[in-house]
Amino acid sequence: MSFSLFGKKSSKKNTVNHENGPKSSTLKKHEPPAHDRDPSLPVSPDSAVGKSPSQEQENLQPEATGGLFKKLKQGLSKTREFLTTDVDDLLLGRKLDENLLEDLEEKLITADIGVTTAMDIVERIRVIRGRIHSSEDLKARIREEILKEVPTGPAEEQPYILSEITPRVILVVGVNGAGKTTTIGKLAARYGQEGKKVVLAAGDTFRAAASEQLELWARRSGATLIRHKDRSDPAAVAYDALDASIARNADVLIVDTAGRLHNKVNLMEELKKIHRTLDKRMPGAPHETLLVLDATTGQNALRQAELFHEAIGLTGLVLTKLDGTARGGIVIAIQKHLGLPVRYVGVGEGVEDLQPFDMQTFVQAMV
């Protein structure tokens, strides 16, 4: 689905601050803040913070080349080139022998599809290798075998279909540097273009630039931002944001969260507290708990998914930065290992580069 944040005259939105005393609404004018973050963490390439207005507008423009598959194929170019460059030469004047099958298995493993999955795929290809006569035959068989390993249900965003439950509460979690806040901004833009009233909760009160970055996205997407002062209780921010969403008849509330506290245990306990607080204010909330993962971290992303899922119970995943890695197979590994649906994949800096995930389209673009 293509959409743009241009085409409607932009208007200033309220930023609600609950720092001291009763709730109030204020309008702020300020320059985009510096990218205040831990220098040891990787810088998210899709972060809007620190970019000039012209750069921001460029990122919000729809791609003229268009086409969901074409965008996905472009974004997965590194993975596809890594997997298929040698495949194109494998059968050039040669038979698909054991040496070539071993090379293929190594490629699949290096692309982070997973050791067991790679071995299973190659074993099934080994059985029918006599029917493979060209590189195109081999690539078609690889695609077919990958799809056998994972669910390939319909591409509809089932959890995001807004029902009679309003507001729809989405809790977004993930470590710093994964593109969590930027993903929230892009989701807000998506819903805004669908005519939904969106509220954002600045629940990452521990990172200096997080609220400012989210405020930029709120203004660009037309959402309302609920924030407290730095170091406030994130659960209190989430509660007040849900309260405000109900009072304003909002369609969607998206809650940002901290990605790094003093240690892993503290982080997970804080997320559990936010979860309980939302459920207390609105039984059944959050209706979605999404984990944002940096695909360039490979198998480490799988470990993160395991820890978050064990602690708070995830309902879906968003994988970012697939355009910056040759290890796009991690999508296959995570979905197979955890059984969690991948809702979106990020294949570039623009808003439209956060694309609804469909496994068949993904595999077609990858191999």
As a dihedral over the C-alpha atoms of residue 245, residue 275, residue 254, residue 349, rounded to 10 degrees, the angle is 170
Q: 92 or 201, which is more confident?
A: 201
Q: Using one digit for the tens of pLDDT, what is the confidence trace for 53-101?
A: 333 333 433 333 346 677 777 777 777 777 777 677 666 666 788 888 8
Q: Using one digit for the tens of pLDDT, what is the confidence trace for 107-149?
A: 888 888 889 889 999 999 999 988 888 888 888 999 999 898 8
What pLDDT is stored for residue 153 in this prediction? 56
What pLDDT is stored for residue 340 in this prediction? 87
pLDDT bracket for residue 219 (50, 70, 90): very high
Query: C-alpha distances in angstroms, 196 versus 78, 160, 211, 243, 315?
Result: 35, 12, 22, 18, 22
pLDDT bracket for residue 245 (50, 70, 90): very high
Share of the chain above pLDDT 70, in %: 73
- Distance separating alpha carbons of residues 35 and 32, to the nearest angstrom: 9
- Distance separating alpha carbons of residues 302 and 295, to the nearest angstrom: 9
Q: 51 or 289, which is more confident?
A: 289
Q: Across residues 254-267, what is the average pLDDT? A: 79
Say if CB 293 and CB 253 are below 8 A apart.
Answer: no
What pLDDT is stored for residue 16 in this prediction? 53
Q: Using one digit for the tens of pLDDT, what is the confidence trace for 156-180?
A: 444 445 556 889 999 999 998 899 9
pLDDT bracket for residue 17 (50, 70, 90): low
Say if CB 16 and CB 25 are below 8 A apart.
Answer: yes
What pLDDT is stored for residue 62 in this prediction? 36
**Per-residue buried b or exposed e for 344-353, using 16+ beta carbons within 10 Å of the residue's own CB:** bbbbbbbbbb
What pLDDT is stored for residue 89 in this prediction? 66
Per the annotation, binding residues are: 174-181, 256-260, 320-323
pLDDT at 345 exceeding the cut of 90: no
As a dihedral over the C-alpha atoms of residue 324, residue 329, residue 335, residue 341, rounded to 10 degrees, the angle is 40
pLDDT bracket for residue 1 (50, 70, 90): very low
Name the token pair of 232. Answer: 């406030």
Q: Which domains does the chain have, with CATH numbers?
A: 15-28+46-60+164-366 (3.40.50.300), 71-149 (1.20.120.140)
What pLDDT is stored for residue 318 in this prediction? 93
pLDDT at 261 exceeding the cut of 60: no
pLDDT at 244 exceeding the cut of 70: yes
Lowest-pLDDT range, 30-44, 105-119, 255-269? Answer: 30-44
Give every CB contact of residue 34 below 8 A, 6+ residues apart in sequence. 49, 50, 209
Per the annotation, binding residues for GTP are: 174-181, 256-260, 320-323
What is the three-state SS of the chain? CCCCCCCCCCCCCCEEECCCCCCEEECCCCCCCCCCCCCCCCCCCCCCCCCCHHHHHHHHCCCCCCCHHHHHHHHCHHHHHHHHHHHHHHCCCCCCCHHHHHHHHHHHHHCCCCHHHHHHHHHHHHHCHHHCCCHHHHHHHHHHHHHHHCCCCCCCCHHHCCCCCCCEEEEEECCCCCCHHHHHHHHHHHHHHCCCCEEEECCCCCCCCHHHHHHHHHHHHCCEEEECCCCCCHHHHHHHHHHHHHHCCCCEEEECCCCCCCCHHHHHHHHHHHHHHHHHHCCCCCCEEEEEEEHHHCHHHHHHHHHHHHHHCCCEEEEECHHHCCCCCHHHHHHHHHCCCEEEEECCCCHHHEEECCHHHHHHHHC
As a dihedral over the C-alpha atoms of residue 327, residue 331, residue 333, residue 337, rounded to 10 degrees, the angle is 160
As a dihedral over the C-alpha atoms of residue 260, residue 265, residue 266, residue 267, rounded to 10 degrees, the angle is 40
Peptide bond into 159 cis (omega under 30): no
Q: 350 or 188, which is more confident?
A: 188
* Rg of the chain on CA atoms, in Å: 22
What pLDDT is stored for residue 236 in this prediction? 96
* Average pLDDT along the chain: 77
Name the token pair of 330. Answer: 């991690």
Say if CB 269 and CB 235 are below 8 A apart.
Answer: no
What pLDDT is stored for residue 224 in this prediction? 96
- Distance separating alpha carbons of residues 286 and 280, to the nearest angstrom: 10
pLDDT at 37 exceeding the cut of 70: no
CA atoms within 13 A on the CB side of 253: 31
pLDDT at 346 exceeding the cut of 50: yes
What pLDDT is stored for residue 321 in this prediction? 85
Strands 316-320, 288-294: parallel, antiparallel or unpaired by DSSP?
A: parallel
Q: Using one digit for the tens of pLDDT, what is the confidence trace for 270-280?
A: 999 999 999 99
Q: Which of 243-247, 332-336, 346-350 has the highest mean pLDDT?
A: 243-247
